[in-house]
Structure 1
């Protein structure tokens, strides 16, 4: 972007203020009808007939505080002026409009940045429309129309151009191209600002959304993008905020003065100036909106209010501003290729050169069937659609490309990769598609003559380009040749033509391994080496590859395996994009190891007979689990129903169940199809094939299926698999794990009696006596509360209750089950079992119900899970740093955080992997789950949290003087530095060399940080609703984990405040929480709780088991010693 004063002003983070409505002010100016000559209603003619009046209106806005005044040329195109018979005065009128604005600035001598902006409104044509009556002009004709208007404005002295109130993206692109053409001829630069008009759903007249808008214009390098007209600031707010989040360049908003009201047949805008200004203020100072102003109904008073409220204010920083982007789009969808997970998949099936079916459909002009092929590629995660329509039977590639792109552009959200060797064919696509495209491809044949034509198109239209390593000597086959041509292509595209490096996608070419010739045996290896070399030597360049070329000539099954393995290794080597059929994407981890070894022998040329061995494999063996099975439509309905549970697919559940019930009873459907399916889900989880959130989603589908069967099950007197009493033990407020177990067991056919959390032993015994369950399940999170399990077993034994007890939770294991199963020297008759998850519990329950022998936890264990304390020797002495003098003693003020800011600042990959189970997936499955499951769930829950105000983020910290005595830490009253206010014992930990947390403090005087944070109660309540009222288990799981991450984020922010107060760096010190090694006693928490006044200040209470409620709360201490570490 050129170094222009307008751009410099924006970069200084000073809010830039545009003027307001112009037509309204003209009406107020009492201009006589004679001034309109023969064109009543044409405000633009007034630039010539009464320039002083026009300049006076500009001056009013300058006095109001505007930095930018728009020329009176909104309807100054040949098309609009032609409606008044003034089409021959385009240049004269537009030049005059700019001169009038310039005169106003020169006459109004005030020392502040002021600019003349050339206003260019829409022509009224809709070139993206499929209705010939609305199209009006083709792309090049539109570009000429805007070029003509831009020339008059330029000669009149405009500082920048504004394409505004736009309704059609193809027209917007034509306008930019037209202005650029004119500026190129003049050898000049002017910023171009582009503003569209949207409806309340954030879409343009023809349905284009924000992503389409960015994809259409960003590549053409405007200086500012934004909105005007259509709505008031409040109505426009959600769409502005969305654009601010994803736009890499400055954003503008020029809304109306509210929504119009029809009064006596006139549109009246009634939003008061102060209200208008107040609505825009937070968008500037909090969200980072750089350019503001007014449209319909706004007057100098509105601009004056805006100028006043923004005086001295700074535009907030936006994280996305200035980042690299490479947008491509259709009329209804757009993506930034720089943000797409690697590899970018370019679906290859819409290609007449590679697909017989596509060729037949193109020849038949069967666009509906072509759309179905496109949709298949889209549904299987293509980011781009490669479109090649060249056929030997007809010489009409240009027209065919134009027709197909036009047909798909408002039906496909996935953008296009235009695959042709002919610049004219590419141009035909660019002139008809409302968004940008990728151009495929250029090479250095004919001394780069054709490449230069395509690169000129790419630069004019902002297109990424595929470049093949081919020149007049042929295709590059050696590493040296591939790198030589890569450098030449880079120099040509990026050096000579100025294409951004990240817009250049080099294809180093890969050749088939199926020839059996020695010279091609290393073809894959050389291509992989080329990818690594390109990324090492030219890191700014992107890479692409037609991966399936590696297997050309092999049988389809053999091709699929080799293609997927080549793709895998190419991505590891640095491949950014792959031309590939996404329907054939496989998880290579599921390939048979023998097959994979044989295939990789061929890829890496590890054996002389690798090709023969690979071909022989497919002649002698069936490809079992390596390729996809028959389509679901070919499977029996029972299998489809079974798969629906496993695949978490709710679609047509009722229809499938109805079909199966024609020959099976509801009980048989439950026992023979649904329960085995959930059993397989459990097996898959045990094998690590799926993660917990997917298990919960399967349980939700199971719940829905059972609800459909329920009336029939009652009629058939179907029985459950037994009752199961479930409880989180007394003192423990954490019930998410227990809820998950209950949800899954219900859908495994058990009747679950959920007693809730913090359940006393006597309540559990009463429930057992009443329900007579097959077993009891007890859950505990912490070591301290797990002791309640032992008390429960002891009480069962005392009252001669022999029900099996299944324990689970983070604090327990099989050894602990063994220990508590022995009561008064004898084994508890019911048995104590440890279950690591719900499916483990199911297996135990099924075994109990079957009367088979099942061995409870081994009671021979001789050691306890209690922490080793007293017998430990003291650790070696530590060295201490300089004395710390805090800025205050005691506790801080309450700190409050904005919910949206905290949630938006979370590390989502960490949340998805550590909190939501994605870390158990392989890289490819995780990427798929992230895009299809995790990100949509996060967006949904984030919006729910913010809209329903489910979190109230508060916390505070304290700094207190302390002294130590061995493993005791004594907290001193800071008011007199003498009185002891609390005494904490931090046990010595055996595995940490006998270290105690107390060792990290100077014995004769030091400082401790203490802290408490909470997110409030509402989120926990909503989690319980998801589990117990709505049967949306995965939502409950996701929301609870999200709450944990939010509170952990707050705790870290408080810790940062403590470090800042102590004057130490971010890598020094540790935060410790009660109930964990080093601070195992939750009872000790009470002392700190009372000293800090946590209950009064944060509305957190301690249960009788010394746990905090709300449960999404934390309290802890901070140790500033540089050697502090977590103890075990």
Structure 2
């Protein structure tokens, strides 16, 4: 791949190459650095102190066959460099990293500006805001462009929200191509629970040029992850697997996959749909050379045409198309005719929205529409609060419902996944703003057939407005699969003569424009009695005409029955499998005939259960609930032992089974912490007790502490007294603290193979000082075999850490 200078049309050069052949990336920079680093230092600082060494690594990969090399800037954000006291050198370090790679590339291969995660948890799990993250990544990306990179490679992202921030930050710096790869665990989920389908759905909507996976797993699981991505996406894909698992031999880190063994997976990766193959932890120029040999006679797999549309929540995707069940957009979070919601939103209270979202999801909603529009509501504040509350309660996609671009963007800055923007009109300024927001934040766009003249009467006129909007969005680079049209429903009570125009418009828009259709179906019966029957009739007619997504109340059984029946009759539900699953024979004739009550009416009748509150991660009203339990005669310790601890055990089990993920784990932990805080105030001094004392630390030379911090929260919630020494902690301080505090356990964390050796140092010093304090180890590079080799216990994650800690105290 000969590139004569840095061409302005780099995106075209890059994609042309991918159209016709496989592309070989490089291997691990960190592995090559570790082999020559005697102690843990800032890897990016070596760009300044020994640029010849970094250049030599790049040249080794080029000689092995790499067509893309990555800059030595994985930890080059201000946040990461701050840990080494180098935060004020972000620009100079990243410019240097790109310049070194540029020199080595000599315009014969492409230089990818490497961008890694900040190491901080994003809101609401942590304190890093989306906008701050965007600025952090933009600062690094800008310097990489100035240094001469040809494209960006954002990698090892564990949180889709952080990945979105990195993509926006990179695109703000340049229009160069963007690759973004996430890291998955052995369950094929990211740290925050997103599956491969959701990852590719979200990132492709942000117009990333290549999506993929790196780190976390070996090539065997990487094949499966890529195959899942390819099944739902026509984007170019990249795979960078680890060379197996690391272990220490004679104080050197060794990975268990040889170059030959790892390259045996190359053909499988290509067959799964990979376009760019590189290596992550443990891979060397030898591995890349072996990959190059395997790739010589291979061609990229033909990319299948994807015709369906997608929306995504925090960790799961909703598919919209002829081969999938018709998704329901839940309409109930709208204060227009719900006084309790309007009053709550005026007080910036999002609790009713959370409760309503959960009820609609349980009733079968696939998407939750969120409208905060009512007199006296500060919507720019309320919309983000409502979205956050809804996404705490459910993991499905949301529809951000407002015609004001400012309110829409306020929601987009905090929403997870790929939402639907509901909505824009054909008014030029509004349409232009909404299209820009959709493209920037990766959202689907709902277009209303409404212009300066109002709502057109006939189907033909509505089609004309829809066509104008669709063609404009398409001209701005929007994918037709991300454009939805609502031809609008007018009430039968006032405009009966126009009812069928909406149905005709649905047919015309689908047939002639090739986009998805949406209708606010329940508008048809506004102001009329027996609304459910009229709405259901209109729903059946609309679905028979090809409606893709109705906006209705999913808690109305008749609507759900119409939806499932229409899917059978239109062939979407093959062999009526879903219909039979949803409509058991014993349920026939048992549907509720009375009006479906509002969720707030149900809540007033329910007795709130503290255990369920903790499992749901809902901290609203905890003090009142606990006060009530105490008034009933419950002792504080009984509440802890009979309600809080069992709830946390349920959460832990769900996490291990893969039905709960890190966000749910942390929300439940937060709710439990608040419960403990309330009880502590009520608890007699002599009644307080601890399960045991544990000293936690990230070892010397290691600045990573996300995992350790999560473990600390979980241990505290299970009654342990936790003394957290932080990160980059000297072994002597760890041992001295354990001795002084009479610790029952020492918990150590490491994320780098160079620093995991410090765990052995702590173990040796414990033996030398004859301190019998058990060690519990954790971290991405750790294995149970390594832990056993130094006489320690191993925990895979925070839930296991709690179990192991309890087991240690029992032994």
Asked if these proteins are the same fold (TM beyond 0.5), I'd say: yes
Match of 2:28, SS state, is coil
TM-superposed deviation, 1:3: 7.7
Match of 1:173, SS state, is helix
CA contact (8 A) 2:314 2:396 kept: no
TM-superposed deviation, 1:120: 0.3
Moved more, 195-204 or 228-237: 228-237
CA contact (8 A) 2:358 2:393 kept: no
In 2: Cα distance, 1:428 partner to 1:245 partner: 33
Aligned mate of 2:481, from 494, 502, 505: 502
Deviation per CA, 1:528-569: give whole Å up to 9, x if none: 222233334x322332211111110112xx211211221222
Aligned mate of 1:269, from 249, 255, 261: 255
Q: Does 1:579 align with 2:551?
A: yes
Aligned to 1:167: 158
Aligned to 1:540: 514
Q: Does 1:206 align with 2:189?
A: no
Q: Does 1:223 align with 2:202?
A: no
Q: Does 1:527 align with 2:502?
A: yes
In 1: Cα distance, 2:248 partner to 2:187 partner: 22
Cα separation, partners in 2 of 1:434 and 1:450, compared to 1, 3 Å: same
CA contact (8 A) 1:565 1:588 kept: no
Aligned to 2:726: none
Mapping 1:911-990, distance limit 5 Å: 928-929=579-580
Match of 1:382, SS state, is coil
CA contact (8 A) 1:128 1:169 kept: no
Cα separation, partners in 2 of 1:29 and 1:262, compared to 1, 3 Å: closer
TM-superposed deviation, 1:331: 1.7
Aligned to 1:458: 438
TM-superposed deviation, 1:60: 0.5
In 2: Cα distance, 1:202 partner to 1:19 partner: 23
Aligned to 1:549: 523
Match of 1:206, SS state, is coil
Aligned to 2:365: 382
Match of 1:252, SS state, is strand
In 1: Cα distance, 2:557 partner to 2:17 partner: 46
CA contact (8 A) 1:476 1:509 kept: no
TM-superposed deviation, 1:351: 1.8
In 2: Cα distance, 1:920 partner to 1:115 partner: 48
Match of 2:155, SS state, is strand
Aligned mate of 1:233, from 213, 219, 235: 219
TM-superposed deviation, 1:93: 1.9
Deviation per CA, 1:177-211: give whole Å up to 9, x if none: 1111222xxxxx42211111111111222222223
CA contact (8 A) 2:321 2:548 kept: no
Moved more, 485-494 or 225-234: 485-494
In 2: Cα distance, 1:465 partner to 1:431 partner: 16
Match of 1:140, SS state, is helix
Mapping 1:477-496, distance limit 5 Å: 477-495=457-475
Aligned mate of 1:116, from 88, 106, 111: 111
Q: Does 1:313 align with 2:281?
A: no
Q: Does 1:448 align with 2:408?
A: no
Gaps of 5+ in 1: 34-40, 108-112, 184-188, 591-916, 934-1128
Cα separation, partners in 2 of 1:144 and 1:241, compared to 1, 3 Å: same
Match of 2:179, SS state, is strand
In 2: Cα distance, 1:528 partner to 1:932 partner: 27
TM-superposed deviation, 1:221: 1.2
TM-superposed deviation, 1:267: 4.7
TM-superposed deviation, 1:265: 6.8
Cα separation, partners in 2 of 1:409 and 1:547, compared to 1, 3 Å: same
Cα separation, partners in 2 of 1:587 and 1:389, compared to 1, 3 Å: closer
TM-superposed deviation, 1:251: 1.8
CA contact (8 A) 2:242 2:279 kept: yes
Q: Does 1:156 align with 2:147?
A: yes
In 2: Cα distance, 1:485 partner to 1:121 partner: 44
TM-superposed deviation, 1:32: 11
TM-superposed deviation, 1:45: 2.3
TM-superposed deviation, 1:368: 5.4
Q: Does 1:415 align with 2:397?
A: yes
Cα separation, partners in 2 of 1:564 and 1:211, compared to 1, 3 Å: same
In 2: Cα distance, 1:919 partner to 1:437 partner: 27
Deviation per CA, 1:473-519: give whole Å up to 9, x if none: 33322345423422333344333x4433332322222211123xxxx
CA contact (8 A) 1:511 1:523 kept: yes
Q: Does 1:137 align with 2:125?
A: no
Cα separation, partners in 2 of 1:86 and 1:434, compared to 1, 3 Å: same
CA contact (8 A) 1:218 1:327 kept: no
TM-superposed deviation, 1:361: 5.4
CA contact (8 A) 2:227 2:273 kept: no
Q: Does 1:391 align with 2:374?
A: yes
Cα separation, partners in 2 of 1:128 and 1:325, compared to 1, 3 Å: farther
TM-superposed deviation, 1:931: 9.3
Aligned to 1:472: 452
Aligned to 1:64: 64
TM-superposed deviation, 1:65: 1.5
TM-superposed deviation, 1:53: 1.8
In 1: Cα distance, 2:158 partner to 2:439 partner: 24
TM-superposed deviation, 1:420: 1.3
In 1: Cα distance, 2:390 partner to 2:247 partner: 39
Match of 2:74, SS state, is coil
In 1: Cα distance, 2:570 partner to 2:334 partner: 37
In 2: Cα distance, 1:366 partner to 1:265 partner: 56
Match of 2:447, SS state, is strand
In 2: Cα distance, 1:921 partner to 1:507 partner: 21
Aligned to 1:25: 32
Paired residue total: 572
TM-superposed deviation, 1:152: 1.7
Deviation per CA, 1:960-998: give whole Å up to 9, x if none: xxxxxxxxxxxxxxxxxxxxxxxxxxxxxxxxxxxxxxx
TM-superposed deviation, 1:99: 1.8
Aligned to 2:286: 301
TM-superposed deviation, 1:100: 1.3
Match of 1:158, SS state, is coil
Aligned mate of 2:312, from 329, 333, 339: 329
Root-mean-square deviation (Å)? 3.2
Match of 1:472, SS state, is coil
Aligned to 1:193: 179
In 2: Cα distance, 1:502 partner to 1:459 partner: 13
Cα separation, partners in 2 of 1:171 and 1:545, compared to 1, 3 Å: same
In 2: Cα distance, 1:530 partner to 1:441 partner: 18
Q: RCO higher in 1 or 2 (8 Å CA, sep ≥ 6)? A: 2
Mapping 1:638-1037, distance limit 5 Å: 928-929=579-580
CA contact (8 A) 2:333 2:353 kept: yes
TM-superposed deviation, 1:431: 1.1
TM-superposed deviation, 1:453: 2.4
TM-superposed deviation, 1:932: 10
Match of 1:429, SS state, is helix
Deviation per CA, 1:124-171: give whole Å up to 9, x if none: 1221443xxxx3432222212212211221122222211011121111
Match of 2:449, SS state, is strand
Mapping 1:1078-1093, distance limit 5 Å: none
Cα separation, partners in 2 of 1:92 and 1:239, compared to 1, 3 Å: same
TM-superposed deviation, 1:214: 2.4
Cα separation, partners in 2 of 1:346 and 1:215, compared to 1, 3 Å: same
Cα separation, partners in 2 of 1:178 and 1:339, compared to 1, 3 Å: farther
Higher Cα Rg, which structure = 1
